[in-house]
Amino acid sequence: MAEVMLLKRSEVQRLLKMSEALEAVERAFRLQAEGKATMPPKLYLELPQYHGDFRAMPAHINESAGIKWVCVYPGNRAHNLHTVVAIIILSDPRTGYPLAIMDGSYITDMRTGAAGGIAAKYLARKDSSIIGMIGAGAQARSQLMALREVLLETREVKVFDSLESARVEYAHEMRATLDLNVRPVSTTEEAAEADIVVLTTPSRKPVLLKQHVRPGTHINAIGADASGKQELEGEILKGAKIVIDDLVQASHSGEINVPLSEGVIKPEDIYGTLGEVVAGLKPGRESDEEITIFDSTGLAIQDIVCTKLVYEKAKQEEVPTFELL
């Protein structure tokens, strides 16, 4: 008899802390680089007539197996709905039986934020203290939460969004939530005057230009997660240390997908994966002057390790289960 746990967003949110997500995601990157994870590329179901898409993301890692069914609808913001909506099924890899079904939207936010935090830990300058946020949606919040955990000091956060109300609201909320000096700015150029620049937009044309990027900057390019999306001017990638999370996914739908297809960069210009850096197979930042870029597409292994963490904590609290099969 299979007993399945059902967890809604509020329960997942209560059980998953950013510090825990950072540890789990860093471990997932390491296991991936060591060949101890199985993760086929995302399967896309594109629905341009509805201005959105669905993605199936299965993975097996650390004695856990599961799949995330997630959709991305940028227009949902106008309807007061989440842009990213996801459900995750965690299964027992020994029997195939489902262990838990839970909201995956919050896990997606947290594990993506954690990936950005881990990237900054290994690729940003150790004295980084000024953060520039370009985009002020849900993902911008978890990215800042993670950076708050990994940076030794955060002196200032500047946020730009094309909607003035969004950047003002973000600054007010994150000042109160994280006790940081967060202020809205009116241009991407001003936001880019930072040690770490984080982009979380759904843009299909560059929003950050090479002339705005200073030597020594680390960039977390988070927003490009589908073919044709691009946040960085291609010239920024030339000469930068480009670190990806997964080559197949990044080539298809990450920040590098457009520059690769246009011949601005070549596959050999990609330095390596963040997993290789975390596992010590390749060095991270090697000088205070180099520009480093993390191209994040989001990995199913990140979802599964965070889902397993939530599941184990929920079991300790004896969360009710139901018979599914």
256-271 pLDDT, tens digit each: 999 999 999 999 999 9
Around Cβ 97, how many Cβ atoms within 10 Å?
Answer: 14
> One-letter amino acid identity for 214?
R
Bridge partners (DSSP) listed for residue 198: 133, 220
> pTM for this structure?
0.94
Q: For residues 68 and 89, what is the distance between their CA atoms, to the nearest angstrom?
A: 6
Residues 163-195: b if buried by 16+ CB within 10 A, e if exposed: eeebbeebbeebeeebebebebbeebeebbbbb
Residue 1 confidence (pLDDT) = 59
String of DSSP letters for 99-157 = EEEEE-HHHHHHHHHHHHHHHHHHHS-TT--EEEEE--SHHHHHHHHHHHHH-S---EE
Residue 242 confidence (pLDDT) = 98
Rounded to the nearest integer, the mean pLDDT of the chain is: 95
Give me the residue spans of the domains in the chain. 3-108+301-323, 114-299
Q: For residues 161 and 47, what is the distance between their CA atoms, to the nearest angstrom?
A: 26
Residue 322 confidence (pLDDT) = 83
3-108+301-323 CATH:
3.30.1780.10
Q: CB of 105 within 8 A of CB of 82?
A: yes
Q: For residues 44 and 293, what is the distance between their CA atoms, to the nearest angstrom?
A: 25
Task: Give all strands (DSSP E) within 161-313, no chain letters.
Answer: 182-184, 196-199, 218-221, 241-244, 270-273, 292-295
Phi and psi at 136, nearest 5°, equal -130, 35
Tell me which residues are annotated as active site: 68
pLDDT < 70: residue spans in the chain: 1
Give every CB contact of residue 7 below 8 A, 6+ residues apart in sequence: 15, 100, 101, 102, 103, 310, 314, 319
User: Topology of domain 114-299, per CATH?
Assistant: Rossmann fold (3.40.50)
